[in-house]
Chain A
Amino acid sequence: MFLKVQLPWNVIIPAENLDAKGLMLQRSIVVCLLDDFAKKRATKDLGYYLAVSTLESIGEGKVRPQTGDVLFPVVFSGITFKIFRGEILEGVVHKVLKHGVLLKCGPIENIYLSSLKMPGYRYVPGENPVFLNDKTSKIGKDVAVRFIVLGTKWLEAEREFQALVSLEGDYLGPVS
């Protein structure tokens, strides 16, 4: 699910960027914030950081001793993407393996659908391997699939989420 969040953030402006006043300073704060935001990538609580939508407020700057940099507390709204257990989503298959498929959904690429969780589908090997069922539904590369999320995992080192998903349930499977 995409979320609209309001976040407090500390922006540090290096001393050498401080000579200009007013608009230029505000510009440095925005540039710095956008840069930090993109670098952050994702957090366990809020998910992936997509975009800053509005800068709500800029607090009073505090000069840091020694360096002379100035720290500005700001509040902004932004968009994030987080995946929840029990959520029903649509994703696209990007890899077909013998024991299941890998899907991508929004910024997340490691979504695993095991063949054990695709009742009725069997693996058909070949140059473009696919999973087929009796009703000639096909799950192969680039096919959109509707699934339910069984579990999610946050990988701190990579700043990535992984998810396990299933087709066990009504109205789940490939979508056109």
Chain B
Amino acid sequence: MSGEEEENAAELKIGDDFLKAKCLMNCEVSLILEHKYEQLQQMSDDPMNQVSQVFEKSLQYVKRFSRYKNPDAVRQVREILSRYQLAEFELCVLGNLCPETVEEAIAMVPSIKTKGRAHDDEAIDKMLNDLSLIKKFE
């Protein structure tokens, strides 16, 4: 009945609210949370006691699953992916999983190949190439 039952991120059905919402890549979240944590460290001797469990677990997670650590590289990843007419959600999945081949990229984000969208294999290949260059020069 509700949109919820049809939710399927693979087809980019995640609800209108979320489609418009800004998504964040793991590496972006990592920068934000680490900055917050440093601020707390300056104010208290035991910063881990000051943060919620949700914060602590998320920080651990994004530290392990960030492909890019350097703030400039993180900014460039978003800039490059923004040139390819992707939904916010798709952009972040690509930035998080860093697929190496066109086939892998389509498996991770099947919605980029749906009808009426302008992504041919060549465009996707160029996008992945740009991404791997950032990683190389980080």
Contact = CB atoms under 8 A, between A and B. Distances in A.
Contacts of B24: 2-4, 79
A107 B53 contact: yes
Given A2-B62, A88-B9, 4 more contacts: A51-B36, A85-B8, A149-B9, A171-B107
Interface string B71-84: 00000000000000
Contacts of A82: 18
A89 B107 CA distance: 12
B99 to A, nearest CB: 7
B46 to A, nearest CB: 16
Contacts of B52: 38, 41, 49
B58 A107 contact: yes
B55 A88 contact: no
B2 to A, nearest CB: 12
Contact of B97 (A3, A51, A146, A169): A146
A86 B11 contact: yes
30 contacts: A1-B23, A1-B93, A2-B23, A2-B24, A2-B25, A2-B28, A2-B92, A3-B22, A3-B24, A4-B22, A38-B52, A38-B55, A49-B52, A51-B36, A81-B58, A84-B7, A84-B9, A86-B7, A87-B10, A88-B10, A88-B97, A90-B65, A106-B57, A106-B62, A107-B53, A107-B58, A148-B10, A149-B9, A170-B107, A171-B107
B57 A109 contact: yes
Nearest to B11: A86
Interface in B55-112: 55, 57-58, 61-62, 64-65, 89, 92-93, 96-97, 99, 103-104, 107-108
Interface of A: 1-5, 38, 41-42, 48-51, 53, 79, 81-82, 84-90, 92, 104-107, 109, 144, 146, 148-149, 169-171
Contacts of B104: 170-171
A84 B104 CA distance: 20
Q: Interface residue tally of chain B, by bracket?
A: 35 or more
A5 B11 CA distance: 22
State the 10 A-B residue pairs at the shortest beta-carbon distance, nearest first: A86-B9, A86-B10, A86-B8, A87-B9, A4-B22, A2-B24, A170-B107, A84-B9, A38-B52, A107-B54
A171 B29 CA distance: 25
Given A84-B14, A87-B93, A149-B9, A2 B57 contact: no
Nearest to B51: A38
A50 B21 contact: no
A105 B96 CA distance: 13
A109 B23 CA distance: 21
Contact of A88 (B18, B64, B93): B93
